[in-house]
Structure 1
Amino acid sequence: MRFIGEELYEAFFKGYTIKQWGLHPSALPASVLKRIPVRFNYNDNYFNHKFQGIPKFGYTQMVKSIVEHENIAVELCRSFTQEMRTDYDHVFFSGALDAFYSCQYGRLEYRTLDFKKIICQSDYQGCAVMNYCSIDTPYTRITEHKYFSPWERHEASICYQEYSRECEAGDIPYYPVRRADKMDLLNKYLSRAKKEKNITFIGRLGTYRYLDMDITIAEALQTADVYLTSLYEQKEMPAFTVTV
């Protein structure tokens, strides 16, 4: 509040935060609110990174190229079970931390998303992403994908509205909700996980942290380096390679 004042807080932060997280901003850690950049100029970029970009042929092609590597086997529609651990020297688990233990201590809190597809025969909103901060608008943002690749020409447009809600059993968990009043439950899982052998928890769900894609990828590469070093030095690989 002291950085932006009450007027901007009410206009941009309060309603959007309630929609996105289902909580009043006061119930969330400051790190969540600090994710929204505040500028005093006309720069409308969300990120401050010196280099920004997307894969030349899109994320689908990038991931496809990775998983089609001869040393990678992909099995779909198969849930992880503890018995699988005996098949490998080491496991890197990027699923939900509480799900790894079958939610024995209770379910951690997550937010999930519902998407509504919009097909427009022209431009829809004129930019890649527009966030809707008013509490009276049910969706949080609209993404118009063709604006991510302005070097291409598309007359029609495909957009998606995003609706945030509480993640229930069977939903896809998108956002871990780290609340100060719920840390006891998280710490139970973290304490148990840190004692595990031959497994490392990674990613947004595995470490129960709200991470952007660039940080997630950087941490994955860092984890790979730690693992290779541990093999070379014949040391035990930790359950977490980051501070959780």
Structure 2
Amino acid sequence: MRILMVGAGLSGAVIGRKLAEAGHDITVVDARAHVAGNCHTERDSATGVMVHVYGPHIFHTDDEEVWNYVTGFETFKAYKNRVKTTSKGQVFSLPINLHTINQFYGKTMRPDEARDFISEVADTSIEDPQTFEEQALRFVGPDLYEAFFKGYTMKQWGMHPSELPASILKRLPVRFNYDDNYFFHKFQGMPENGYTAMVERILDHPRISVHLNTAFERAEKDQWDHVFYSGPLDGWFDYALGRLGYRTLDFERFTYEGDYQGCAVMNYGEEDVPYTRITEHKHFSPWESHDGSVLYREFSRACTADDIPYYPIRQVREKALLADYVARAEKETGVTFVGRLGTYRYLDMDVTIREALDTADAFLAQGQDTPAFVKAPL
């Protein structure tokens, strides 16, 4: 078949590669000048630093098949995400661990002592947390919530934590040991030559043609036997029912000669600091050595029509609008909606790849009867 991938990010690349290997002819279009979507990386010409152009992406997964997939296209180097945060004039480790607790409270507690202490300061009267704020108060108490979660969350989401669902913080990481590795996953790493090089290799197949700086128009759909669409779900319908809500990011790029902050990610949890974090990109490639440094200050705000959408809000209003768009999408034929934008869900890279592999399998089994959503957005 002649199949179109709208978007040259992870979803389009992975689905396209698997279908090309099965003998289909794949055309990939992307409105941007590069592949890899928001995980695009490129070397800074002045410093040589590998820069995560749309903000840092750290690969972590427990899915061994997905890990084997990405390492088949790129060498991954060991990398542990160790986040720091500045609060009340001090630097602390995140996620909250035994060092964080002892430093914050000026104590030298052992694990069992710290566990009992947190149980005492936590608001155990909240039996079934419904909001982000209740979830944080229930598990760490007001002091740690105020220092590390409240201000950061207000800046990131543009609303008070009492307005956000508890699910955003449903697995609040609190460790009663000195483990400061941000993720729990078995496989963690960074691509030695960046994500763009990896995606370029995935797309490097004789049955795949890639066209960058190429916008897709829905009127073109019937030129193809099937379309896999990783653009915004509401955009497919020309936003006829209104726009789904997203948060976007503004990056204030600056350089420094030397080591600016000594770590890859420094959060700023206090509300009066306008940015959420500073990322220093050379620390995402610790196997390299660079004198100069490239850094981003990140500012979160509401996404407008001209912005790059990053985080789907998925509050009550958005979910209602999403349901209406899903109902329309399920009546479409010859198109399958995929990825973060196509299904209006926040997806880590490993989940994106897993769903792309599963979607390709579904198409190989069902052909043009493949539904609009292999993974339901609701």
**TM-score using structure 1 length:** 0.92
Q: Output one character per residue of 1:4-43: Cα deviation in whole Å (capped at 9) or x when no partner.
A: 2111111111111111111112222322223653323222
Looking at secondary structure, tell me which structure has more strand per residue.
Answer: 2
CA RMSD of aligned residues (A): 1.6
Are 1:210 and 2:346 an aligned pair? yes
The alignment of Structure 1 onto Structure 2 pairs a total of residues equal to 241
Whole-Å separation in 1 of the counterparts to 2:334 and 2:252: 41
Q: Shift in Å at residue 142 of structure 1?
A: 1.3
Q: Shift in Å at residue 75 of structure 1?
A: 2.4
Q: Answer with 1 or 2: which has the greater Rg.
A: 2
Residue in 2 that maps onto 1:140:
276
- Of 182-191 and 90-99, more deviation after overlay is shown by 182-191
Matched position secondary structure for 1:165: strand
Aligned residues with identical type, % of pairs = 60
Instruction: Map 1:225-240 onto structure 2 (within 5 A).
Output: 225-231=361-367, 236-240=369-373
Q: Shift in Å at residue 68 of structure 1?
A: 4.1
Indicate how the Cα distance of structure 1 residues 119 and 35 shifts in structure 2: closer, same or farther if over 3 A, else same. Answer: farther
Residue in 1 that maps onto 2:106:
none
Any stretches of 5+ residues in structure 1 without a counterpart? none
Q: Shift in Å at residue 181 of structure 1?
A: 3.7
Pick from 147, 151, 154 the counterpart of residue 15 of structure 1.
151
Indicate how the Cα distance of structure 1 residues 35 and 192 shifts in structure 2: closer, same or farther if over 3 A, else same. Answer: farther
CA contact (8 A) 1:127 1:144 kept: yes
Residue in 1 that maps onto 2:286:
150
Pick from 207, 212, 217 the counterpart of residue 71 of structure 1.
207
Whole-Å separation in 1 of the counterparts to 2:351 and 2:174: 21
Matched position secondary structure for 1:52: strand
Whole-Å separation in 2 of the counterparts to 1:141 and 1:69: 39
Q: Shift in Å at residue 189 of structure 1?
A: 0.4
Indicate how the Cα distance of structure 1 residues 198 and 10 shifts in structure 2: closer, same or farther if over 3 A, else same. Answer: same
Whole-Å separation in 1 of the counterparts to 2:353 and 2:173: 22
Whole-Å separation in 1 of the counterparts to 2:257 and 2:307: 32
Residue identity in the other structure for 1:240: F
- Of 39-48 and 8-17, more deviation after overlay is shown by 39-48
Indicate how the Cα distance of structure 1 residues 36 and 130 shifts in structure 2: closer, same or farther if over 3 A, else same. Answer: farther
Instruction: Map 1:7-156 onto structure 2 (within 5 A).
Output: 7-34=143-170, 37-156=173-292
CA contact (8 A) 1:28 1:178 kept: no
Matched position secondary structure for 2:195: helix
Whole-Å separation in 2 of the counterparts to 1:216 and 1:37: 23
Matched position secondary structure for 1:74: strand
CA contact (8 A) 1:112 1:173 kept: yes
Q: Shift in Å at residue 65 of structure 1?
A: 2.4
Matched position secondary structure for 1:54: strand
Instruction: Map 1:187-206 onto structure 2 (within 5 A).
Output: 187-206=323-342
Residue in 2 that maps onto 1:242:
375
- Of 104-113 and 124-133, more deviation after overlay is shown by 124-133
Whole-Å separation in 2 of the counterparts to 1:72 and 1:162: 35
Indicate how the Cα distance of structure 1 residues 118 and 16 shifts in structure 2: closer, same or farther if over 3 A, else same. Answer: same
Residue identity in the other structure for 1:189: Y
Indicate how the Cα distance of structure 1 residues 36 and 166 shifts in structure 2: closer, same or farther if over 3 A, else same. Answer: farther
**TM-score using structure 2 length:** 0.61
Are 1:176 and 2:309 an aligned pair? no
Matched position secondary structure for 1:116: strand
Residue identity in the other structure for 1:133: G
Q: Shift in Å at residue 186 of structure 1?
A: 1.4
Matched position secondary structure for 2:209: coil
Q: Output one character per residue of 1:115-153: Cα deviation in whole Å (capped at 9) or x when no partner.
A: 111211111111111221111111111111111221111
CA contact (8 A) 1:230 1:236 kept: yes
Q: Shift in Å at residue 60 of structure 1?
A: 2.3
